[in-house]
Amino acid sequence: MRRGTMNKIEAGIGISRRYLHDQVADRMRELIRSGEMEPKARINEGELTERFGISRTPLREAIKILATEGLLELLPNRGARVASISETELEEMMEVIAGLEATAGDLACRTISDAEIDAIVTDHEAMVLAWKASNEAGYFSHNRRIHEAIMAASRNTVLANIYASLSGRIQRSRYSAHQTPDQWSRAIAEHERMIELLRARDGAALAVLLREHIRGKKSVIAANYGAAEAV
């Protein structure tokens, strides 16, 4: 997916990346992710070329890329705007993510090392502590690290790229979800069961569990979505 963005970390100041359109795409992704460009906001090419100090050509190429990734939508003869996610689309995306994580768990059991599992356990414990300390940012951070560790252990870059792309599109929604103590304790229990299944290298069972685990998050997120989006 994001092919050109991950290579080439150069020492130079700003002109290091090969493609201007790639740099621009990265910056726009960040603007969207950070919320500086809100959903439904129109993209004004003139404004952005001025802001980035480039011409319209690479900017427009970046727009096409982001549109293909699903972060922007194209309006005929009216340019582009930041894609807005409907509630049903969010639910669909969560189901797909659940499937991708299930796949990752299944594959991870083939080759994951004990050390990697230990790292997950460490994050899990840190996550529990963060929750108990009402440290929401830390909680989400460790939680994400756990799921990304499983994804990495799948040793499947195609899978990881699709996952990253989808995650990027819903990140804002995903990490604005607040859980009840009930939901939280269920999530913790599922995490612990995940660790057991990883140790047992039981891919099939882990896949089932992960799908259900993400679905649990899905309902939390969906519940919060209405409030968040009712602007």
Partner DNA sequence: CGGCTGAATTTTGAATACATTCGCCGTCAG
Partner DNA sequence: CTGACGGCGAATGTATTCAAAATTCAGCCG
The residue ranges that bind DNA (CB under 7 A) are 1-5, 19-21, 42-46, 54-58, 60, 74-80
Q: Is 98 in the site for its own copies (CB under 8 A)?
A: yes
Q: Is 14 in the site for its own copies (CB under 8 A)?
A: yes
8 Å CB contact between 179 and 190 = no
Phi, psi of 74 (to 5 degrees): -95, 135
Residue placing its CB nearer to its own copies in the complex, 73 or 190: 73
Phi, psi of 120 (to 5 degrees): -65, -40
> Tokens in use for 94?
């969560």
**Partner from DNA, its own copies, none binding residue 93, C-beta < 5-8 Å depending on class:** its own copies
Pick one of 44, 55, 68, 219: the residue that binds its own copies (CB under 8 A).
68
Distances (CA, A) of 59 to 32, 169, 191, 201: 15, 20, 43, 47
- In DSSP notation, 52-92 reads HT--HHHHHHHHHHHHHHTSEEEETTTEEEE----HHHHHH
Stretch that binds its own copies, among 47-55, 97-105, 136-144, 192-200 (CB under 8 A): 97-105
Please, what is the minimum distance in Å from the beta carbon of residue 15 to its own copies?
A: 5
**Partner from DNA, its own copies, none binding residue 55, C-beta < 5-8 Å depending on class:** DNA
Residue placing its CB nearer to its own copies in the complex, 4 or 216: 4
Distances (CA, A) of 8 to 3, 11, 16, 45, 154: 11, 9, 8, 27, 25
**Partner from DNA, its own copies, none binding residue 162, C-beta < 5-8 Å depending on class:** its own copies
Q: Is 28 in the site for its own copies (CB under 8 A)?
A: no
